[in-house]
Structure 1
Amino acid sequence: MSTHTIDTATVKRLVEARAIHGAAIIGQPGGWSVLLKYGMEERPLGIQRADRPRLWRSLDTCVDYLKEELHIGRVDLLDATGYSAQNPLPGKSRPDAAERMRKAFAASYHDHWFREQVEIALKEADDPATEWVSHEEVEAMFVQRRSALRARSTATGAE
């Protein structure tokens, strides 16, 4: 078996040409890798810009990638003998990821809410039954409110 890997773009072309004859998911320390058979070759699916096999921490994620990304719906072999969850993939721990994702979801929710509020305001502004208040009327109302507040604050001695 060759130690060279095959990249995702090549696999996609081979799948379109119906040249992939089989796929196997192999358990590794810390994850799962994929071995593809085409012609007389067997090669592991590699990571981008490197000649190393790609590893997935989750078997479900690996299977989803095969089905959704590569359009390979049949796996000939699932070998879990070498799998060990005790040895996690190096360099993959991201303790800040949960906080980053929480902030991203909060920002997305706020953006959705804000756009919804703008849409409601625009509909209300376009409604012919909307009563408009002039700038002068608003200024007069606030002059009255300010004077009432001043009178209340001087009455309590808080000024």
Structure 2
Amino acid sequence: MRTPLETIDGKAVKNLAGAHAINGAVVFGQPGGFAVLVKYGANERAVAAQRSRRLRIWRNLNTAAAYVRDELGLARFEIDMTEHDPTAVERKRPDTAKRQRQLHEAAEHDAWFRGQVQKALDGVKDGSNRAIPEEEWTARSNATRVELKRRIVKHGS
């Protein structure tokens, strides 16, 4: 088991990479994914997750390697699979499907609503939708209120 590592936040790592101060990196296996250890000067630090001091864990080796290559600018680095156990941590988010469904429904409703508004505006422009005079609107509203009150009295709710 690897001893607990000191961490460094992603912004500091990017600053080191920008200054070409990183000497090397190790992508090392963790339960459920991979972490990255950067070497600079005489120091070694593991890259921390955003807004925390815990290890940042990438789900697969390709994304961790891409981070080292693309974000840190290191084409050569080590890979240590010693402690990798892909079955150790279940990282699924049970609320993801529900959240995605809600986003999809909201997008559909937004598109429908915008279409209705555009249809009404087009109707006003071409004359197929007429403006209701205020007196007529008041009479319709009052008639609707009277009918609703009648139903409430009749059904008791």
Give the TM-score range, shorter chain.
0.5 to 0.7
Shift of 1:8: 1.0
RMSD of aligned residue pairs (Cα, Å): 3.3
Structure 2 match to 1:108: 107
Matched length: 133
- The answer (yes or no) to whether the contact 1:25–1:75 under 8 Å persists in 2 is no
The percentage of aligned residue pairs carrying the same residue is 39
- The list of structure 1 runs, each at least 4 consecutive aligned residues, that deviate by more than 6 angstroms after superposition, is none
Q: Distance in 1 between the 2:39 and 2:49 partners?
A: 17
**TM, length-normalised to structure 2:** 0.63
| 1:112–1:4 distance in 2 versus 1, CA, 3 Å | same
| 1:29–1:115 distance in 2 versus 1, CA, 3 Å | same
Q: Distance in 2 between the 1:86 and 1:37 partners?
A: 29
SS across alignment from 2:85: coil
Structure 1 match to 2:17: 15
The runs of 5 or more residues in structure 2 that have no matched partner are 137-157
The runs of 5 or more residues in structure 1 that have no matched partner are 140-159
1:133 aligns with 2:130: yes
Structure 1 match to 2:141: none
| 1:77–1:120 distance in 2 versus 1, CA, 3 Å | farther
Q: Distance in 2 between the 1:132 and 1:85 partners?
A: 62
Shift of 1:132: 4.6
**TM, length-normalised to structure 1:** 0.63
SS across alignment from 1:135: coil
